[in-house]
Amino acid sequence: MAEMDTSSGGGHKKGPGVKKGKKLSTRVDLTPMVDLGFLLITFFIFTTTMSQPTAMKLFLPKDTEKPEDQNKVKASGALTLILAKDNTIFYYEGELLPDGSNFKSTGFKEVRDLIINKKRTTAPDDFVVVIKPTPDATYKNTVDILDEMTINEVKRYALVDIFDVELQLAAKSLQ
Amino acid sequence: MPKVKVPRKSTTIDMTAMCDVAFLLLSFFILTTKFKAPDVLAVTTPKSVSTKAAEQKNVVLITMDKEGKVYFQVADENPDEKAEILDAVAQAKGITLTAQEKAGFARGGAFIGVPFSKLKSYLALTADQVKNYKADGIPVDSSNNELITWIGAANTAFTGKKMNLLVKGDNDAKYPSFKGIIDALKKNEIFKFAMITDPEGVPAGTDLWKTNQNAPANKPATDD
C-alpha cells in the first residue's frame, strides 16, 4: 500500500537453497603498522638535532690611536687575567709590580671566586676585568673566561693583547 | 563431578591505541626535526650559558678547526651574495675565475679554506674531491690576513641587510687564530659578532643565576 519497502535484498526472503554471505571481520591486524611507526620514530629521534646551538655575543672595542680617546681604567679596580697554556690562569690586581710579586696563578675552577671577591671589594664604577690570552691559550679558554664574565655579571671587561713582560713572567712561572 | 570449564582467552591485543601513540609521536618528530647539515669540518664548540639561539638568516660563518685553520662560508640561502663576494674578492686579487670555478663556491655548503694563491685550483675541485682535500685554511697572521678581504667583500655584499657574523671555533683551537679573526673584523669596522656555543646551565649561586631567579622565567637575562 502506501508503505515504503525498506528491507534490502529485493524484499523476498532467501530460500533455503541460497547461501548466506559470510560476515567478514572489519578488524585489521595493526601490528605491522605499529612496527613501522616505531621504526620511523627511532629514525627521526636519531637524526633530529634537539639542542639548537646558541650564540654568544661579543662586542669589540674600537681601536683608537689617540690616547685621549681611550678609556682610562683606574688601576686599583682592575683585575688582569692571563690565560696561559694547560688551562692555567695568571692574575694580578691593579698594576703589575716591577718585581712581579703580585703575579699569581690560579685555575678555571677557582677563577670564579676570585672574580666575585674582586667584584665585592671594589666600587662598581672602577671594577674592570682585563683578559689577556697568551698564544698558548685555546679558544675554549677564551670562551670560558668570557662566559665567566656573563655568569658573574661583570659589566666591563676587555680582551686585550698581552705584553711581553707578562708573557715572560707566565713562561717563567710555568717552568 | 562436573568438568571445570576454563574459558579460553584470546591472545590478540587491540593494537589501535598503540598505533595511535606511535603515529602521534612520529608526526611530532617529523615536524620538529631539523636535519643536521653534513659537517665537512668537524668542530666541537665550547659551552656557554648564553640562551640566545644562533641566527639562521643572512649568515656569514667563520669556522676555526682544532688546528686553528680558518674557513669562510656564506649561508646557502643567500646565493646572490655568495656570488657577489667571490666576484669581489677575485676582482680585488686579480684572479680570473671560470663559470665552472664559480659554481664550486655556489655549491651547497661550500666553504673557502685556502689562501688566494690556491683559490683557483681549489674551486675547480668537485664536491667529492673537496672532502679529501687537505685545506690550508685562510691565512690570518698579522702580516698576511686574507680574511680581511673576505669579510670586507661580505660586508659590501650584504649592504642593506643585516649580516649575521658567526664565529664557530673548536675547543682546541689556539688563541692566535681567534685573534686573527678578531683583527680582520676590526679592520672592517665590525665590532659585533656572535660565537656559536653549546648551551650550558647557569651555575647556582652566581650573580647571573640570582638575576635569572628574580627575572621572569621566560626572559633570562643572559645577553644584556
- How many domains does chain B fold into? 1
Q: pTM of the predicted model, to two decimals?
A: 0.72
**Distance from CA of residue B11 to its chain's centroid?**
52
Task: List the grid coordinates of B211.
Answer: 638575576
Domain extent at residue A142: 84-174
- Among B13, B19, B27, B223, which would you mutate to test the A interface (most chain A Cβ atoms within 10 Å of its Cβ)? B19
Asked whether residue B84 carries a pLDDT value surpassing 80, the answer given is yes
When pLDDT is cut at 50, 70 and 90, the band that residue B82 belongs to is: confident
Q: Has residue A67 been placed in a domain?
A: no
Q: What is the mean pLDDT of chain B?
A: 80
B197: which strand partners? A54
Is the pLDDT assigned to residue B15 strictly greater than 80?
A: yes
Half-sphere exposure of A169 (CA within 13 A, CB side): 21
Tell me whether residue A44 is in a domain: no
| Distance in angstroms (rounded) separating the CA atoms of residues B181 and B138 | 10
Residue A13: its pLDDT value, please?
A: 54
Q: What is the pLDDT of residue A39?
A: 92
Tens digit of each residue's pLDDT, chain A (175 residues):
455 555 444 445 555 666 677 888 777 788 888 899 999 989 888 877 666 778 888 887 776 665 555 566 667 778 888 888 888 888 888 777 777 777 888 888 888 888 888 888 887 777 888 888 888 888 888 888 888 888 888 888 888 888 888 888 877 777 7
What is the band of B159 on the pLDDT scale with cuts at 50, 70, 90?
A: confident
CB pairs under 8 A between A and B: 174
Is residue A158 within 8 angstroms of chain B, CB to CB?
A: no
Q: Assess if residue B218 is contained within a domain.
A: no
> What does the DSSP 8-state code read for residue B73?
E
In a domain, A153, yes or no: yes
DSSP string, A105-141: EEETTTHHHHHHHHHHHS-TTT-EEEEEE-TT-BHHH
The answer to whether residue B160 is domain-embedded is: yes
CB contacts, 8 Å: A58 with chain B: 192-195
pLDDT of A10 reads: 47
In a domain, A132, yes or no: yes
Q: Are B123 and B104 in contact (CB under 8 A)?
A: yes
A16 touches chain B (CB under 8 A): no
Kindly tell me the burial class for residue B9, based on how many C-beta atoms sit within 10 Å of its own C-beta (0-12, 13-18, 19 or more): exposed
**Closest CA–CA distance from residue A55 to any residue of chain B (Å):** 5
Chain A interface mutation, best of B29, B162, B175, highest count of A Cβ atoms under 10 Å? B175
Would you say residue B133 has pLDDT above 80?
no
C-alpha cell belonging to residue B132: 679529501
Q: How many domains does chain A have?
A: 1
Range scoring the smallest mean pLDDT among B62-66, B71-75, B131-135, B166-170 = B131-135
B116, part of any domain: yes
Let me know if residue B92 belongs to a domain.
yes
Type of residue at B139: P
What's the sign of the alpha-carbon dihedral B179, B183, B189, B190?
A: negative
- On whether residue A97 sits in a domain, the answer given is yes
Q: What domain range includes position B152?
A: 57-199
In a domain? residue A47: no
Provide the pLDDT for residue A54.
80
pLDDT (0 to 100) of residue A134: 86
From B221, B205, B186, B207, select the one nearest A127 (Cα to Cα): B207
Give the residue from chain A lying closest to B35, CA to CA.
A48
The answer to the question of residue A102 being in a domain is yes
